[in-house]
Structure 1
């Protein structure tokens, strides 16, 4: 897994949401598939067009769409920014329409930075962050008498 420096994103995070952005059709982009690879680009801040408005607005949600097209079985995995969420729920699994095609799968929306990574890698990310903070705390304690 490729590790990216986070510094370029810190300034952008103050202004808007950061989401992973990628598309995989029938496994064409293995980095985008589950489990997701660290090589997937992050869009920060995420910006989207809105109907009735000129220009781009800061996105409010990250979304992950994973499904199989009913007509021919084509598989998709899409991670991106969104201005809309799913009604009052975070995840919908079942049938949905995308570009006038019927799919069977899941759509998940979330409102935190990098949250469209998927469940399979969320726990290790949290553990890595906790370990980093513990290390920094101990390093700071040893430098300050």
Structure 2
């Protein structure tokens, strides 16, 4: 099938296909995993993480401090730790359990530390989907590339695009 197509036409088809399929993936906003422990006994958000249960969210949107609405995320975050205390507005069933929280954020929530990863005691107050505030002993990681809170790579997308191109050329001609 491919021997009937001149080489320059094959290259042109390949370039057009790559620009149409690969470029839109890269030009979208940050892709992050979003999940939270809701049942400590059956937690799909915990490590080791399964991206089958929690698919990556392309162009992840989050609220920004002091602004109304949602905006394209600039960072992915992963928080895990044992809940040491909860305030009156938070869910008391989380007390003394280990929770995992993966999401995207607009603002650098670790700007004061200038680190991308930290561990110790910290308080989450009014953070995205959490009501009230909770105090955790654990770790927090911040990153700024697609799916960095556990995700697939562009290499797999490139492989799938190449296979799709070859199949479409084969069946077209």
Alignment-derived partner of residue 64 in structure 1: 78
> Residue 41 in 1 paired to residue 67 in 2?
no
Whether 1:20 and 2:43 are equivalent positions in the alignment is: no
Displacement after TM superposition at 1:55 (Å):
2.5
- Check if 1:110 corresponds to 2:123: no
**1:79 equivalent in structure 2:** 102
Q: Supply the distance in 1 between the matched residues of 2:65 and 2:35 (Cα, whole angstroms).
A: 23
**Equivalent residues, number:** 123
**C-alpha separation between the residues in 2 aligned to 1:65 and 1:43?**
17
8 Å CA contact 1:48–1:81 kept in 2: the answer is yes
Matched, 1:97 2:120: no
Q: What secondary structure does 2:77 align onto?
A: strand
TM-score, normalised by the number of residues in structure 2: 0.59
Cα contact 2:65–2:107 (8 A) shared by 1: no
Could you tell me how far 1:26 is from its partner in structure 2? 5.1
> CA shift at 1:78, angstroms?
0.5
8 A contact 1:22–1:78 mirrored in 2: yes
> Which of 1 and 2 has higher RCO (CA within 8 Å, sep 6+)?
2
More strand by share: 1
> For the pair shown, which has the larger CA radius of gyration, 1 or 2?
2
Do the aligned residues in 1 keep the contact of 2:64 with 2:105 (CA within 8 Å)? no
Q: Show the counterpart of 2:6.
A: none
Shift of 1:12: 5.5
